[in-house]
Amino acid sequence: MVEDDPAVAEPLLAGLKRNGIDTVHVAYASHVVEAVAQGVDVVLLDLGLPDGDGLDVLRDLRRVSDVPVIVATARGDEADRIVGLELGADDYVVKPYSVRELAARVRAVARRRRVEAPLETGRLVVDRKRRVVTLDGTAVDLTAKEFDLLAVLAEEPGRAVPRQELFSRVWDPVWVGTGKTLDVHIATLRKKLGDASLVETVRGVGYRLAVETG
Ligand code: CA
């Protein structure tokens, strides 16, 4: 949270904490890049800061980081909002905003970013934004369902993903039948990857993506 007004920052910090969001607070433009470098999931950026303009901070930040940024603008200041979005802000809130609204937006941009970030697991890269899979740098031609299956498995290599979860996330939230179609798709996925050992069967559970070493 980049916010110089303690009357705004203090209740927000407490409110975000109540919403399960850990927050690092800085009050100066000059502290932002360093704070972000320590690793944060989302930046809430006030535009009026004592030692600089938040939009300049955003510009500097974008040179070094693609961390999601929510810009906090004064009521009705459309110009700031537009410039913020043009400079690569992910969202904005208009002051005064509620903790609840902010928490929801923080979660939404973090989730969106997670969904867009390519999953890299050794030889395999699953780019969910472009819906492209590469193995050792070579594109693998997958159907939509095969892609979705692999994307779920690649979220967490090594995790045994239950059949029911795979079925409900890739096909239908309601688990019906034996899920034979799941096994058929896993078989074609293995074939297309050209290395059956990449997708492991976990007996009695489901499937997992092999953890590659070295
Ligand atoms: Ca301010």
pLDDT tens-digit readout, 56-103: 999 999 998 889 999 998 766 788 888 888 888 999 998 888 999 999
Please give the helix or strand (H or E) that residue 103 lies within, else none: helix 99-116
Residue 76 has what pLDDT?
65
Q: Could you tell me which residue, 205 or 128, shows the higher pLDDT?
A: 205
Report the amino acid identity of residue 72.
A
Q: What is the pLDDT of residues 133-162, one digit of tens each?
A: 999 999 999 999 999 999 999 988 999 999
User: How far is the centre of ligand 1, averaged over its atoms, from the C-alpha of 41 (Å)?
Assistant: 22
The CATH superfamily of 6-113 is Response regulator (3.40.50.2300)
User: What is the 76 CA–ligand 1 centroid distance (Å)?
Assistant: 15
What is the structure's pLDDT at 178? 67
Give me ligand 1 centre to Cα 4, in Å: 5
Query: For residues 23 and 13, is the Cβ–Cβ distance under 8 A?
Result: yes
Question: Do residues 175 and 190 make contact, with C-beta atoms less than 8 angstroms apart?
Answer: no
Q: How many CB atoms lie within 10 A of CB 17?
A: 12
Which of 96-102's residues contact partners 24+ apart within 8 Å by CB, and which partners?
97/72, 99/11, 99/12, 99/15, 99/16, 99/18, 99/19, 100/15, 100/19, 102/12, 102/15, 102/16, 102/44, 102/70
Q: Does the pLDDT of residue 42 top 80, yes or no? A: yes
**Greater model confidence, 147 or 175:** 147
pLDDT of amino acid 75: 66
State the chain's mean pLDDT as an integer: 90
- Whether 51 shows a pLDDT value over 70: the answer reads yes
Residue 190 vs residue 84, higher pLDDT = 190
pLDDT score, position 79: 81
CA 74 to centroid of ligand 1, rounded, Å: 9
16 falls in which pLDDT band (50, 70, 90)?
A: very high
Structure tokens of 184? 């058929």
Which residues, other chains included, contact 96 with Cβ-Cβ below 8 Å and sequence gap of 6+? Answer: 75
Q: So where are the chain's domains?
A: 6-113, 119-209
How far does residue 105's CA lie from ligand 1's centre (Å)?
Answer: 20
Which amino acid is it at 191? K
What whole-number distance in Å separates Cα of residue 49 and Cα of residue 47? 6
Highest CATH level, class, for 119-209: mainly alpha
Task: Indicate whether 30 pLDDT > 90.
Answer: yes
Burial of 55 (0-12, 13-18, 19+ CB in 10 A): middle
Q: How far is the CA of 88 from the centre of ligand 1 (A)?
A: 20
Distance 44 CA to ligand 1 centre (A): 12
Distance, CA 46 to ligand 1 centroid (Å)? 6
Q: What is the percent of the chain where pLDDT is above 90?
A: 63
